[in-house]
């Protein structure tokens, strides 16, 4: 595609919409330029332009149009002659991505909620980007039902509708509030391609905060196609004065669709136990996590993560041994407000690792530094330099 036709079409549609009614307009315009040097020492530049917009009638805030889309030109050579002429003509391309574009409406009492268009869903196991309709109905103050029907959005996120046969989905979710700050959550999704069901899964989750500073989650996923357990998650968090404690058990099978290429590989589940503790000391927080993972073939791995954080960022250590190989590393991420309008950023990491199947150690290091300048309330400019070895 030689021109960002989709971007222009959607932009004109949204800009001219206010001409037909008085509306409130809010959003953000973001431009990004990435300059990189590849392994062949070629200098390349990628340009991204994105727009996030929301339009709502002045007299009805319960009805609005929302969108987020992006146009990019990728792979262009910066310096003339950097790439051979035969390559330069085809080494860059325009592409557009429409991440969401939907109309949203709900009643004044919020009992009925409708949304139609391209949207990202995160409703239990009903998650992903789809083109379709979502309907939510609050039956009473304690029970809410949601239903969805639509087609999968193109992987490229172009402004195009897949046919029903290429990939459709339907599902739902029920949320019930229980006594003592508890909730019961049930969800289901079925995806079909070419007349074949490729994914069919349900989930039941119980979560809440029945006591002060205590939170828990019990989650059970069931795969109706394999007629077997897909995953279980148990999690608990407790806070006492300056202390924080967490424990989690997670058993999962890889989520691979029936028509996926990865079905040719053996699908193995894993069991993982994660424990953690943190302590707040004045403006600092010290944390320690331990992860123990065991796989179906009885292979095991252990990982220890220590961290020290503040409002300016965090630093940490990683120590890993077992089936995943040997790994020892340090990392840090700093964000320091030098002035009200100027923030300094820095990130660095270094890892020394050894793969499970060989006895050769390798090093990996990455460093980035940058600034964020905000000269105006509604304008922010950032620049960053990255290096990795």
What digits encode the pLDDT tens for the residues 236-270?
Answer: 999 999 999 999 999 998 887 777 766 667 767 89
Runs of H (alpha helix) within the chain: 5-16, 85-88
CA 226 vs CA 195, 201, 229: distances in Å? 18, 10, 8
Q: How many residues does the chain have?
A: 389
User: Which residues fall within 8 angstroms of residue 182, CB to CB, at 6 or more apart?
Assistant: 206, 207, 208, 210
Give the pLDDT score at 93: 80
Residue 331 three-state SS: strand
CB neighbours of residue 296 within 10 Å: 12
Residue 68 three-state SS: strand
Please state whether beta strands 326-339 and 342-354 pair in parallel, antiparallel, or not at all (unpaired).
antiparallel
Give the pLDDT score at 88: 44
d(CA 48, CA 32): 5
With contact defined as beta carbons under 8 Å apart, do 280 and 300 qualify?
no
Q: pLDDT digit of tens for each residue in the chain (389 aa)?
A: 444 455 555 555 555 555 555 888 899 999 999 888 777 777 788 899 999 999 998 888 899 999 999 999 887 655 555 545 444 444 678 889 999 999 999 998 889 999 999 999 999 999 999 999 999 999 999 999 999 999 999 999 998 999 999 999 999 999 999 999 999 999 999 999 999 999 999 999 999 999 999 999 999 999 999 899 999 999 999 999 999 999 999 999 888 777 776 666 776 789 999 999 999 998 999 999 999 999 887 889 999 999 999 999 999 999 999 887 888 999 999 999 999 999 999 999 998 877 666 666 788 899 999 999 999 999 999 999 999 88
Give the pLDDT score at 264: 66
DSSP state of 111: S
Give the pLDDT score at 58: 85
Backbone CA torsion sign across 10, 15, 21, 26: positive
Residue 118 Cα to chain centre, angstroms: 17
Count how many Cα atoms sit within 13 Å of the Cα of residue 364 in the half-sphere of its side chain.
8
Backbone CA torsion sign across 164, 168, 172, 173: negative
Residue for token pair 């503040």: 310
Give the pLDDT score at 22: 82
Backbone CA torsion sign across 240, 245, 251, 255: positive
Count how many Cα atoms sit within 13 Å of the Cα of residue 126 in the half-sphere of its side chain.
27
Give the pLDDT score at 335: 95
- Reading the block at residue 387, the tokens are 């290096």
């Amino acid at each position: 595609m030689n021109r960002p036709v989709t971007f222009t079409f959607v932009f004109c549609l949204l800009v001219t919409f206010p001409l037909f009614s008085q509306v409130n307009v809010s959003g953000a315009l973001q431009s990004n330029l990435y300059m990189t040097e590849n392994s062949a020492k070629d200098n390349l530049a990628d340009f991204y332009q994105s727009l996030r917009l929301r339009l709502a009638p002045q007299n009805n805030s319960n009805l609005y149009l929302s969108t987020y889309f992006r146009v990019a030109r990728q792979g262009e050579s910066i310096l003339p002659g950097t790439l051979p002429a035969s390559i330069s003509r085809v080494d860059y391309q325009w592409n557009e991505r429409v991440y969401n574009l939907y109309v949203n409406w709900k009643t004044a009492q919020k009992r009925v909620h409708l949304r139609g268009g391209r949207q990202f869903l995160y409703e239990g196991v009903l998650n992903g980007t789809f083109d379709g309709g979502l309907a939510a109905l609050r039956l009473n103050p304690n029970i809410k039902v949601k239903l969805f029907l639509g087609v999968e959005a193109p992987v490229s996120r172009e402004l195009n509708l897949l046919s029903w046969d290429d990939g459709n989905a339907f599902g739902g979710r029920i949320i019930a509030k229980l006594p003592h700050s508890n909730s019961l959550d049930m969800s289901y999704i079925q995806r079909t391609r070419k007349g074949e069901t490729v994914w069919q899964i349900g989930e039941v989750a119980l979560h809440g905060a029945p006591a002060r500073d205590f939170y828990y989650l019990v989650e059970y996923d069931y795969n109706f196609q394999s007629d077997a357990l897909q995953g279980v998650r148990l999690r608990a968090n407790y806070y006492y004065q300056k202390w924080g404690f967490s424990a989690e058990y997670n058993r999962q099978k890889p989520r691979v669709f029936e028509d996926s290429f990865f079905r040719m590989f053996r699908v193995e589940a894993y069991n993982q136990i994660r424990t953690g503790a943190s302590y707040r000391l004045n403006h600092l927080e010290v944390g320690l996590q331990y992860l123990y993972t065991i796989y179906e073939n009885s292979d095991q791995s252990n990982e220890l993560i220590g961290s020290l954080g503040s409002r300016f960022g965090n630093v940490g250590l990683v120590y890993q041994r077992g089936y995943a190989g040997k790994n020892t590393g340090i990392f840090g991420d700093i964000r320091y407000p030098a002035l009200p309008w100027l923030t300094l950023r820095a990130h660095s990491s270094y890892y020394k690792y050894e793969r499970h199947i060989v006895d050769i150690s390798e090093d990996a290091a990455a460093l980035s530094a940058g600034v964020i300048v905000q000269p105006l309330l509604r304008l922010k400019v950032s620049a960053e330099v990255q290096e990795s070895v």
